């Protein structure tokens, strides 16, 4: 048994690359500060669209295996050692986009029994005893079935873990304040002629955009090594992302800002100390931590 650090963060995501886009700065910061960062990814993204022509032959299990390697490379860039697939590799398949026949695959995450899948996540919670959990909002950020299901699984696991005597003190959902997104896209429109992308996405294409008042917490990475780590992690997911800092594009080839401040909504637990902007700058704010309160086998 290995004693874990005093601060322990668990992130629950749907596919490889979601963690780097949404939480790359956050993961890099806490890993560098000595916290134990655990990532649980629910699927291998076997139905993702492949960007590089040289990898276009990849699909299904072959693509999933390749994306698992990309995930490992991304975690090295972020300094995160503890990353897992929910239930083990291949337990839950990518469900594809909402409304496709892929959603009916009995082995896909969308068809999974939430309580059964949550029980697998509870095993991770019991092992690493995170004080903080990060996942998506109820819409999964943008309505993808795997993101919605990852949210349901994570939130149910928090309930079950509390019943089992392993409470998670704080739960956050990934968010983006509307004013921040609008300002970033305004810069993008000005700089688009010099970028390797012909068109830009819009604020409506960014998952989790909400009114500024909803935001409780911001993890700032601009001008820090954590921003560079996030960009490197996103580059590692080469089948899914094209990076041209400070912008990137997914398979639709629409440019969008690479956000180096990551925002959250606290939905469970007590808010800690806030700054002049009325927001926390630390996910662990208000939590008293001590080494020895968690162990890993």
The annotation places the binding site at 15, 18, 147
- Using alpha carbons, list the distances in angstroms from residue 105 to 63, 92, 102, 108, 146: 17, 10, 6, 5, 13
- The size of the chain, in residues, is 297
DSSP type of residue 72: H
On whether the CB atoms of residues 96 and 47 are closer than 8 A, the answer is yes
CA 174, 176, 177, 178 dihedral sign is: negative
- The backbone region for 29, taken as left when phi is positive above 0, alpha when psi lies in -120 to 50, beta otherwise, is alpha
> What are the start-end ranges of the H helices in the chain?
18-32, 60-78, 114-128, 145-163, 178-191, 225-236
Query: Is-contact 30 156, C-beta < 8 A?
Result: no
| Rounded-to-integer distance, Cα 153 and Cα 111, Å | 12
Cβ neighbours, 10 Å, residue 2:
8
Residues of the binding site for Zn(2+): 15, 18, 147
Could you tell me the maximum CA-CA distance found in the chain, to the nearest angstrom?
A: 55
């Amino acid at each position: 048994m290995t004693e874990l650090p005093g601060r322990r963060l668990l992130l629950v995501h749907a596919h490889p690359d979601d963690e780097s886009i949404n939480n790359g700065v956050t993961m890099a910061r806490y890993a560098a500060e000595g916290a134990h960062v655990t990532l649980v990814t629910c699927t291998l993204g076997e139905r993702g669209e492949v960007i590089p022509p040289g990898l276009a032959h990849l699909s299904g299990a072959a693509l999933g295996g390749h994306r698992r390697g990309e995930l490992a490379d991304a975690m090295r860039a972020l300094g995160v050692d503890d990353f897992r697939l929910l239930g083990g590799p291949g337990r839950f398949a990518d469900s594809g986009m909402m409304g496709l026949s892929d959603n009916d695959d009995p082995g896909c995450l969308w068809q999974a029994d939430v309580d059964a899948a949550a029980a697998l996540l509870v095993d991770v919670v019991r092992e690493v005893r995170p004080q903080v959990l990060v996942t998506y909002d109820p819409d999964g950020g943008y309505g993808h079935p795997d993101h919605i299901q990852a949210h349901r699984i994570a939130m149910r696991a928090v309930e079950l873990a509390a019943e089992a005597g392993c409470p998670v003190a704080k739960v956050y959902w990934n968010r983006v304040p509307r004013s921040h997104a609008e300002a970033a896209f305004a810069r993008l429109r000005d700089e688009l002629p010099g970028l390797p992308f012909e068109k830009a996405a819009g604020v409506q294409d960014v998952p989790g955009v909400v009114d500024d008042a909803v935001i409780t917490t911001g993890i700032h990475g601009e001008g820090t090594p954590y921003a560079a780590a996030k960009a490197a992690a996103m580059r590692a997911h080469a089948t899914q992302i094209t990076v041209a800092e400070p912008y990137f594009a997914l398979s639709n080839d629409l440019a969008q800002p690479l956000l180096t401040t990551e925002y959250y909504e606290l939905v469970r637990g007590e808010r800690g100390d806030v700054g002049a902007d009325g927001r926390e700058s630390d996910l662990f704010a208000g939590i008293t931590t001590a080494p020895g309160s968690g162990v890993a086998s």
